[in-house]
Amino acid sequence: MPVGRPARRRTATLLAAGATVLACLAPTAVAAPAPPPGAGHPDPLPVTGDTVVHDPSAIRLKDGTYVVYSTHGGLEARTSRDGRHWQRSGSAFTALPSWWRAYSSESDPWAPEIVHRQGRYWLYYAVSSFGSNHSAIGLATSPTGLPGTWTDQGKIFETGPADPYNAIDPGIVEGDGRLWMSFGSYWTGIRMVELDGRTGRPVAGATVHHLATRPDAPYAVEAPYIVRRGGHYYLFVSYDRCCAGTDSTYNIRVGRSTSPTGPYTGSDGTPMTRGGGDVLLAGHGKYIGPGGQSVLRDRGRDILVHHYYDGEDGGTPKLGLAPLSWRPDGWPTLAR
């Protein structure tokens, strides 16, 4: 999400957009260069019900229920039995932790990331105000992953005005036998720290690795999410401007590396620390500014989970689900 955005990302195991469908299957947000033309990009899968979300993270729970957590309202929740029809189902938090107020006067959390590890569910999220890097990433745990069952474990990482990066948009990946958290928005871009696999918190003295940035101000890259596949790690990011309704220019790009800490490059070899990365999805038709992405890995299938701004509904942010496939050369592509 952008330097403190009014809504957000960041995602772990969801969907079967109906077994049938899946079987087919910072600085001020200144206008950045327009994304590549959207011609040729596929539309998301059809979904119904309450699909008004920002920065969605999705998972399929043990009982088969799909749940999407998203920015705002104590991390709003939507649930589904088939991955197609969604209903509002409360929020992750029924009582808001008091420490949030130090970072957000509205106690408004953003950009959740839900994963299942060690027999329980872990929910990472950010707390900040728009345009500030006085930000923090928190952690909550739950035995079921259902809304209203989360116990907050407090703040695990923070940034302030003296830091050259921003503690928002957490994303979790395991690699090289270790646990990692990517994060970041604007400032100097995307960063990563190692986490303790037992506590889910940064290891003592963790190195802050640099994964991606843009070469020009306002360095508009955020919402990192990393997928491990084969011998590579794939870094998905959102470029350009979010949170501006039909004026949003968000687009999703991807690079890869043989190490979780990089270096990541696009398919042309350009490092992501110099603005590299292949365009995976850009705005087209009524689907404006797709971003805030994660990848749902559900029973051998991959789904790109994101939001877009509906050009036929006043720019309302909505849930996008797009089947993700992989080319013979290893690079991801969206199924049509």
Q: Which residues are catalytic?
A: 55, 222
Is residue 280 classed as helix, strand or coil in its secondary structure?
Answer: strand
What are the φ and ψ backbone dihedral angles of 274, each rounded to 5 degrees? -125, 30
Is residue 49 classed as helix, strand or coil in its secondary structure?
Answer: strand
Q: How many CB atoms lie within 10 A of CB 302?
A: 20
Give the sign of the dihedral formed by CA 304, CA 293, CA 314, CA 42.
negative
CA–CA distance from 53 to each of 62, 71, 77, 100, 192 (Å)? 23, 7, 9, 21, 26
Tokens of 128: 């900040």
Quick one: CA torsion of 172, 34, 165, 138, rounded to 10 degrees?
-40
Burial class (CB in 10 A: 0-12, 13-18, 19+), 204: exposed
Dihedral-angle region of residue 285 (phi above 0 means left; psi in -120 to 50 means alpha; beta otherwise): left
How far apart (Å, rounded) are the C-alpha atoms in residues 86 and 30?
Answer: 34
Pairing of strands 85-91, 48-49: parallel
Is residue 335 classed as helix, strand or coil in its secondary structure?
Answer: coil
How far apart (Å, rounded) are the C-alpha atoms in residues 287 and 283?
Answer: 5
* DSSP bridge pairs for 332: 326
Question: DSSP string spanning 233-293?
Answer: EEEEEEES--SSGGG---EEEEEEESSTT---B-TTS-BGGGT--EEEE--BTTEEEEEEE
